[in-house]
């Protein structure tokens, strides 16, 4: 039997069990993260963020991200094994994010995972980053089972998903242009705030009032899609026009007005999705899920309608490897086969 045949045989043995150890790797953007999970339980999780490195450039520089993943990954694997109280010999499966994300950044994780899986002679599982974000909910709510609606709001993606089963998800609404996190980051830049803009806008908005009127895209239309590029442009124009009149913008009020609108449309469309599907559970996911206004508004709107609202802790909303490990566990349960050693990164997955 060759390596791949042994991997397939091993996965068939593990399917249906929840007592085996998965080591998972996430390197799709500017966080190098490794975790060890058993079923939906996280035994260890280490995240090394490059935010401080990219801050001075005002955003993630792909080549610099890749280089720093290379520098960090070995030590993070060692650290997470100590945290989990296990050794490499105990690992049954290696899981890795292979897309979506930055090509060079993804390749560091994928190459590392391939060599580790081959050296340990254990199966290699290729995990979709978005399914990882959704899986954060299985960590904080281990009793959660499909069907449910998921609002996924991150720096790269904005989706309302109907999760019928882990391997049967339907996109009910998605962005037609910018992702919501991207809009937070761009508006922050217009206001002169550092990267990443989401938490900065949130902080500033706390001191402001929603005095600026900003447009809603697709108003009155009967679909659940989003457009954040128009909202971002409206903010840019508002700042430019105000300055041209020789007047001053009130940054806190603009941050608050933008956040109210950005979050409002997410919550409104999610409530429509719940109505349309009849599901009684909504799960939040993705980096923007760390936003307090979004968490509060989603909880308020859902609770009013008798919907159970699941909010993973903030650290599980932004990129981490624990969610990738648990997504791997769910994929194995749902019938996924191992990857072979030709696995490549897929930036646009």
Taking CB under 6 A as the criterion, the residue among 84, 172, 271, 290 binding ligand KG4 is 290
CB-CB neighbours of 18 under 10 Å: 12
Number of amino acids touching ligand KG4 (CB under 6 A): 19
Q: Is 168 helix (H, G, I), strand (E, B) or coil?
A: strand
Given Zn ion, ligand KG4, none, residue 99, with its beta carbon under 5 to 8 Å by kind, binds none
Burial class (CB in 10 A: 0-12, 13-18, 19+), 236: middle
Interaction between residue 29 and ligand KG4 (CB under 6 A): yes
**Tally of CB atoms within 10 A around 168:** 11
List the x/- string, 229-248, binding to ligand KG4 by CB under 6 A. Answer: --------------------
Alpha-carbon distance 176 to 178, whole Å?
Answer: 7
- CA dist list (Å): 31 to 76, 316, 318: 11, 13, 9
Q: Which is nearer to ligand KG4, 7 or 28 (CB)?
A: 28
Question: What is the nearest approach in angstroms of ligand KG4 to the Cβ of residue 119?
Answer: 29
Question: Are 29 and 105 within 8 A, CB to CB?
Answer: yes
- Which span (41-49, 134-142, 151-159, 197-205) binds Zn ion, by CB under 5 A? 151-159
Residue with smaller CB distance to ligand KG4, 20 or 228? 228
Kindly state whether residue 319 participates in binding Zn ion, applying the rule CB under 5 A. yes
Task: By CB under 6 A, tell whether 123 contacts ligand KG4.
Answer: no
CB-wise, 110 or 274, nearer to Zn ion? 110
Residue 154 engages Zn ion in binding (rule: CB under 5 A): yes
Contact assessment for residue 97 and residue 135, using Cβ atoms and an 8 Å cutoff? no
Residue 24 contacts ligand KG4 per CB under 6 A: no
Of the residues 124, 288, 307, 326, which one makes contact with ligand KG4 according to CB under 6 A: 288
Full strand arrangement of the beta sheet holding 168-174: 168-174, 158-165, 148-153, 281-285, 308-310
The H or E element that residue 97 is part of is strand 93-99
Residues forming contacts to Zn ion in the complex (CB under 5 A) are 154, 319
For ligand KG4, the binding residues (CB under 6 A) are 29, 154-156, 181, 184-185, 196-199, 202, 286-288, 290-291, 318-319
């Amino acid at each position: 039997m060759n390596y791949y045949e042994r991997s397939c045989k091993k996965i068939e043995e593990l399917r249906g069990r929840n007592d085996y150890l998965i080591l998972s790797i996430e390197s799709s953007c500017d966080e190098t993260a490794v975790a060890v999970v058993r079923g939906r339980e996280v035994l260890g999780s280490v995240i090394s963020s490059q935010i401080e490195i990219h801050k001075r450039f005002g955003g993630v520089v792909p080549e610099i991200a890749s280089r720093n993943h290379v520098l960090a990954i070995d030590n993070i694997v060692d650290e997470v094994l100590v945290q989990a109280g296990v050794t490499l010999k105990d690992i049954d499966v290696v899981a890795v994010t292979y897309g979506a994300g930055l090509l060079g950044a993804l390749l560091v994780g994928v190459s590392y995972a391939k060599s580790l899986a081959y050296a340990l002679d254990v199966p290699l599982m290729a995990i979709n980053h978005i399914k990882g974000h959704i899986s954060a909910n299985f960590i904080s709510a281990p009793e959660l089972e499909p069907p449910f609606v998921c609002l996924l709001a991150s720096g790269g993606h904005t989706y309302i998903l109907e999760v019928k089963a882990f391997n049967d998800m339907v996109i009910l609404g998605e962005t037609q242009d910018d992702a919501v996190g991207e809009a937070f980051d761009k508006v922050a830049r217009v206001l002169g705030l550092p990267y990443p803009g989401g938490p900065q806008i949130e902080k500033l908005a706390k001191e402001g009032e929603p005095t600026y009127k900003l447009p809603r895209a697709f108003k009155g239309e009967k679909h659940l899609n989003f457009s954040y590029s128009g909202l971002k442009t409206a903010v840019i124009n508002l700042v430019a026009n105000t300055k041209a009149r020789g007047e001053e913008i009130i940054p806190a009020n603009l941050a608050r007005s933008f956040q109210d609108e950005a979050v409002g449309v997410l919550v409104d469309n999610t409530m429509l999705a719940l109505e349309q599907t009849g599901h009684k559970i909504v799960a939040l996911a993705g980096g923007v899920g760390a936003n307090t206004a979004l968490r509060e508004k989603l909880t308020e709107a859902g609770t009013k309608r008798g919907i159970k609202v699941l909010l993973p802790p903030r650290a599980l909303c932004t990129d981490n490897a624990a969610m990738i490990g648990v997504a791997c566990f769910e994929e194995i349960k749902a019938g996924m086969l191992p990857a072979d050693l030709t696995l490549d990164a897929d930036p646009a997955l």
